[in-house]
Chains A and B, each alone.
Chain A
C-alpha cells in the first residue's frame, strides 16, 4: 500500500453508496488519533449518521449554504442587522437558491476560512456524489468566467487559487470494486487533473475481498475439484468465491495501471451500523501500518 500523507485540504467524492462518508470519517479519525487537529466537513448535507462520537476525535462541521451565505453577506455589508433586514426573507432566499453556483460558492468560502484559520492541520471534505461533487469544484471557475469584476469575482478568484494549490489541496475518489463505481472514479481522476487543474490524490477502494483460496489451498483445490461434481456444495462455494474475487481483481487492475496511488480497504464482514466506523478504522489502520 502507498504511504498515506494527506494534503491539508482534502476533497473526497465518488459514486453514491460506495462508503464515501464512512471512509472520510475513518481517515479523519485515523489522523486525529495521530494527534493531528482534524475537521471533517459535510458539504450541504445534514444527515451524517452519528459516526463521530467519543474522545480524541475530529471536529465535525456541517456546511449549510444559507448560513455560509449569511456569513459572507454580513462581512460584505459590515452589519448583521442590515443583513437580517434586507436579505433574511423568503424572496431573497429564493433568489439565492435559484442562482446556480452561489450556494456552492458560499460553502467554499466558509471552507476557505476554516482551512486558513490555523485551527486545523487537515480539513477533510465529504463532497456530494460524483456529479454534484465535481460541479462544486467547477463553481469558482464558472463565477470568474461569468462575472468579470466586483466582490464575487474576487471571491471566485480566491477560491480558484485555493483549489488549484497542489501543495495544499487534493481530491480523492472513493469506489467499490464494481464496474460503475470504478468508471466514475476514473472520470473523477481525469476531470480533476484535466479540466479542473487540481491535484488528484488517489483512489480509495472499499469492500475489497480477500483471496478465498490462498496457497497451498489453491493448488490442492485445483487437484481435488476434478474429482467431484459441479453440484458439490463445497465446489459451488469455492467456484463462486473465486469468480467474485477474480472479477474484483480485474477491475482493480484497471485502476492500478494509473499513476495515482490506490488504497484498498478489505471487505468488512457484516457489522452493526454503530460498529462500522470502528471496524473500518481497524481495517484501514492495519493496511497502512502493517
Chain B
C-alpha cells in the first residue's frame, strides 16, 4: 500500500511514500484497496485525488471539508496549494468584495 484514505467519505488519499508520475498506486480504504495511476509526482505525506473533483468542488479529508478545488482535478493528481484554496481566513476575498 503506498497511499491511504483516512475516512471513507474522503476524496483524497495520503501518499505513504514518494510517488512518481505513472506509478501504479495501491490505495488503502479501511479494509479495501483500489488501484490508481499517479498523474503527477506526489511527495510523501501529500494528497492525491482518488476521484474526479470538479472546479469549485469540496475537497474532503478526515471526513471534513478542507477546501475547494480551483480547477478540475483528475484521479491520481497531486492535490495541494496549486489547485485547492481555503474557505477560511480569506481577507483577500473580503477585500475584493469591498
Q: Does B associate with A?
A: no
